[in-house]
Chain A
Amino acid sequence: MDDTLALGAGKLASRASRLLNRGSGNTIAGKVARKIDPALLKKLASQVENIYFITGTNGKTTTSNLLSNVFCEEGIGHLNNREGDNLYPGILSTFMKKASLNGKIKKKWALLEVDEATLINVLKEIKPKGIIINNFFRDQLDRYGEIDLLIDNLKKAIKETDATLFLNGDDPFTMRFDALPNDKVYFGLKERVFPFKDYKQSESKHCPYCGEILRYETVHYGQLGHFRCSCGFERPTIDVEVMEIKQEDGIKFRIKETWYMLNMPGVYNVYNALGAIALCQTLNIDKTSIQKGIEGYVSKNGRMQSWDVRGFKKMVNLVKNPAGLNITLSEVATSKEACKSVVFFLNDNELDGRDISWIWDADFEGLSDTSLSRVIVSGIRAYDLAIRLKYAGIDEKKITIIESKEKAIDHALKLENETYFLPNYTALAPVRNYINERLG
């Protein structure tokens, strides 16, 4: 009875939210339902035999969407929070959507991205078969404090499960989970497989066990690479390793003798595909389905999503932390287009992290090298962005401050050049939606 009430109320709230144009309705549905029946998530999830989680700082949504695409190719019905609602209410809502009003779910598989801190709580109610861990980067500082604490707590939570861990072997932070007794599958990139840009502002790389500075034979980007410490902590032998990368029409990469193709820019996305591939291989999914699933994926969720306007590319990508921003700006720099503009949107709402100082840890200095005709800054903290750019060496005359996101987008769309729209977390949906509205 509780279930029906909770499910019914949640579904109603969700519809109302969508009708009132307040969003996707995913979060409100989960919030309402949880209040009525706090055990609802456990009850619904326990009916789904094969649950896999994807977590980490960057790339969760991309990995999750790629995985879902492969499962669709293979014909495996599954639950997936495609839109990226990865906090508790969003997770609950994902299960609710596939549940009948009397609380029955028929789906046997669930592929869910889960926010790193939320995962600690979710694991108390759901025991997944596997967890893909992409990476850890300094993200919303005042939400989680330090990465160390987050990782320790997450390790404790994962230890209570039998989940197989799919770990990014190139990331010393992720490799801290190697200490757990769970089964593991490692993925990574071979040394020097791609010339990622060298950033001046990088995370300090200390061994999490003995505190010594980590030595790197190759650095891919940020703290990802072939690391080793004198105490013995080092990159493992990789199970699923990319041996070659070719950037042509899209990104082609080879694992053993098989080539895959990503139709989205940003070579760092190869890591995101790897997590998905590692899981699919473990499940013995047909190679052709994996290839087709990865190749057929076109981003519609603001992760490197693009439109063509009068022959010029307009692209949206989420940037919410230094690592993500650095790698996105290096993509901007590699574009061969003569004239480019960038529009940054910075909000400081609760979910963004109220402390926006991370923009000072990001490499905006690299922007002054590129052929930038104009930079527009927008969002609640537009002025902070403007100051950051000024101190990064960008000519103040090139910087336009338009706090209103819609006005900033209107202004940018009039420019005859390649435009990159880079919003942070809470700005993403409004920016993407407005651009969709304007460009149809």
Chain B
Amino acid sequence: MKLVLYYFFPQLLNLYGDRGNITVLKKRCEWRGIDLRVKEVNKVENLKLSDADLFFIGGGSDREQTICTNELVKIKSELKNAIDDGVSGLTICGGYQFLGSYYRTVTGEKLKGLNLLDLYTISEKKRLIGDVLVQSSQFGEVVGFENHGGRTYHDYETLGQVIKGTGNNEKDKQEGLIYKNLIGTYMHGPLLPKNERIADFLINAAVERKYGKSIAPLDDTLEKKARKRLWESKQ
């Protein structure tokens, strides 16, 4: 089996080791005999996403995020079609924020998002930094690290309830977003190494969509131990 992942702007949007998520997806496919081909996208000119099974957008500084968003807006309809068609997506921090209508900076400037989803972000001076523990009905215990000034607001299904840390904003006690097979989140760590169930959700959705099959489980003893250890120690 073969899958194709579009990795957008790997050089500009990798502020917190988030490329580790790609490493995890690649390996978890490899261990199942699935060939995951990662296509790094640095220019969107004439880009067609018709062969995309998964995509990833990471986070960068405000300046880099804006540069990338201005590029991505050129293939906005391709992205929208892909998401609505069930292509698996993982968007982290800035990647998540800019899916929405706007991002308001600390100085009040409104930066346009891709308007793919109904969400918006307001940035405040006090940054939200620290370990995050989330209780997810779909994924169980989810662990990560957040570092963002933006507070994001939306009404979609979330990754789960925040047990420790902040998450989307200081009111909701919820983290992230799930829409079809697209996940948006503030969680770094990176996210997937210790939350392999989310990685498998993305891979499985892609395999089902393309081949009508489900994926086999792997031995995740180590990941489970690591997550448990972190969950206990960071309470």
Contact = CB atoms under 8 A, between A and B. Distances in A.
Contact of B17 (A148, A361, A383): A361
Interface string B196-235: 0000000000000000000000000011011001100100
B190 A386 contact: no
21 contacts: A141-B15, A141-B16, A141-B147, A142-B129, A142-B147, A146-B61, A354-B130, A355-B16, A357-B16, A357-B18, A357-B20, A357-B188, A361-B14, A361-B17, A380-B233, A383-B226, A386-B222, A386-B226, A387-B226, A391-B24, A393-B27
B interface, how many residues as a size bin? 20 to 34
Interface in B1-22: 11-12, 14-20
Interface of B: 11-12, 14-20, 23-24, 27, 61, 129-131, 145, 147, 188-190, 193-194, 222-223, 225-226, 229-230, 233
B61 to A, nearest CB: 6
B156 to A, nearest CB: 26
Main secondary structure of the interface of B (DSSP, over half): mixed
B201 to A, nearest CB: 18
A380 B129 CA distance: 19
Contacts of B14: 204, 361
B145 A355 contact: yes
A204 B19 CA distance: 13
A390 B19 contact: no
Nearest to B188: A357
Contacts of A50: none
B81 to A, nearest CB: 30
Given A354-B131, A390-B222, A391-B24, A383 B229 contact: yes
B146 to A, nearest CB: 9
A393 B61 CA distance: 31
A354 B194 CA distance: 16
A354 B17 CA distance: 13
B144 to A, nearest CB: 9
A386 B145 CA distance: 18
Given A354-B130, A355-B188, A357-B188, A387 B194 contact: yes
B66 to A, nearest CB: 12
Nearest to A365: B23
Contact of B193 (A141, A206, A358, A387): A387
A357 B17 contact: yes
A357 B222 contact: no
B190 A383 contact: no
A413 interface: no
